[in-house]
Structure 1
């Protein structure tokens, strides 16, 4: 029974996470436990645990006399997250340069090839649908093998970034330039040059932040 409840909680958490990030459940929406439990066919216990996990990811907040509510989108907050990313992902690159295996680097190179093919096939449009840009960053952070960086960036900050990217009309990036940035970062990682990889990553994220600020 305990394993079943845990499985239900995981499934419910992932379904709600995806719905919130992609805007199927809009910012500011109330998450009524009775209605959600009935709609998703689960008990109140696993649902409540899933909501608690979403709250820990800063995607849901508990409002007095209202209950669980999806957080709003705040451009200022996203810019602050990007400021954090500049330094934290720079550090992740520095660590990944010596800690990523050749297999991981090869996988990163294949991902970039897929990005390039996608842009070629779609006339240079954004590849946000594949979340390809964040996949690149995610793989490097995982490659840093630093549990605190992984927890902070992948488990918390990135969900807010994904949410903003999916739902914001201001999200109009520079996919071709981003791809070139990624190629240079990969080359630095392949050369095991952590200092250069860190500098390139900081510059890459800083450019994205400046675009948001404009």
Structure 2
């Protein structure tokens, strides 16, 4: 994607995941073109990507809508994700570069800097969580796995934001990331796999707790 298209894609993706754009909300082509300052063709290419990500639905009569939440789909996704995240941990331990390790350290340092003001605005912490996962997926050096996990992470993150977790619950997620960082430094593939699988299972358990309350 070009830089303008990429910015539009990333911003729309973020707005859908964080429910700034609500499930089943209509997305009008003209309004989006004006908002993002891009033409019809690049916008349509962005919408194709978002549709592939499972974040929007396009209909011939009713137009384009933000995809609804579906907890049956959520269960299917996490069943796949828990195994693929474990594989990603293994591959990252083998293949991650020093530059990528430094990038992960920078994300964790930013989280530490944000802790004191986490209650004021969750957006910076949310972006850190996205950044950490994206770097992890890149560090597998497996493009197909990266693309699949990027899609699955985006869909499952919508449920986190829908259920309105607290800043402390979000910060708690980074305890796993810190532990993972230590395992990556040691190139310990088994520990990385275990931590990643446990991280997803903890997320699933928290979602279940919220839904059953």
- Asked if Structure 1 and Structure 2 have the same fold, meaning a TM-score greater than 0.5 normalized by the shorter chain, the answer is yes
- Hey, what's the Cα distance between the residues in 2 that align with 1:103 and 1:147? 18
Map Cα deviations across residues 42-93 of structure 1 (whole Å, 9 max, x no partner). 5443333332222122111122421221101223433432332211111111
Residue 158 (1) aligns with residue 160 (2): no
**Consecutive unaligned residues in structure 2, runs of 5 or more:** none
Q: Which residue is 1:27 aligned to?
A: 23
- Hey, what's the Cα distance between the residues in 2 that align with 1:112 and 1:10? 25
Q: Which residue is 2:107 aligned to?
A: 111
* Range that drifts further, 189-198 or 20-29: 20-29
- Cα 1:76/1:171, change in 2 over 3 Å: farther
Could you tell me how far 1:104 is from its partner in structure 2? 1.9
Query: Any residues of structure 2 matched to 1:4-43 within 5 Å, and which?
Result: 9-10=5-6, 12-37=8-33, 42-43=38-39
TM-score (norm 1): 0.80
Query: Any residues of structure 2 matched to 1:81-96 within 5 Å, and which?
Result: 81-96=77-92
**Consecutive unaligned residues in structure 1, runs of 5 or more:** none
| 1:124–1:176 Cα contact (<8 Å) kept | no
Residue 213 (1) aligns with residue 208 (2): yes
- Hey, what's the Cα distance between the residues in 1 that align with 2:118 and 2:66? 35
CA RMSD, Structure 1 to Structure 2 (Å): 2.9
| 1:26–1:70 Cα contact (<8 Å) kept | yes
| 1:124–1:175 Cα contact (<8 Å) kept | no
Could you tell me how far 1:206 is from its partner in structure 2? 0.5
Map Cα deviations across residues 154-190 of structure 1 (whole Å, 9 max, x no partner). 2x22222343334x13434634542322222111111
* Range that drifts further, 136-145 or 18-27: 18-27
Q: Secondary structure at the match of 1:54?
A: helix
- Cα 1:183/1:77, change in 2 over 3 Å: same
Q: Secondary structure at the match of 1:171?
A: coil
Could you tell me how far 1:12 is from its partner in structure 2? 4.4
TM-score (norm 2): 0.80
- Cα 1:160/1:190, change in 2 over 3 Å: same
- Hey, what's the Cα distance between the residues in 2 that align with 1:176 and 1:24? 21
Q: Which residue is 1:195 aligned to?
A: 190
Q: Which residue is 1:137 aligned to?
A: 133
- Hey, what's the Cα distance between the residues in 1 that align with 2:132 and 2:185? 14
Q: Which residue is 2:97 aligned to?
A: 101
Which structure has the larger Rg?
1
Equivalent residues, number: 207
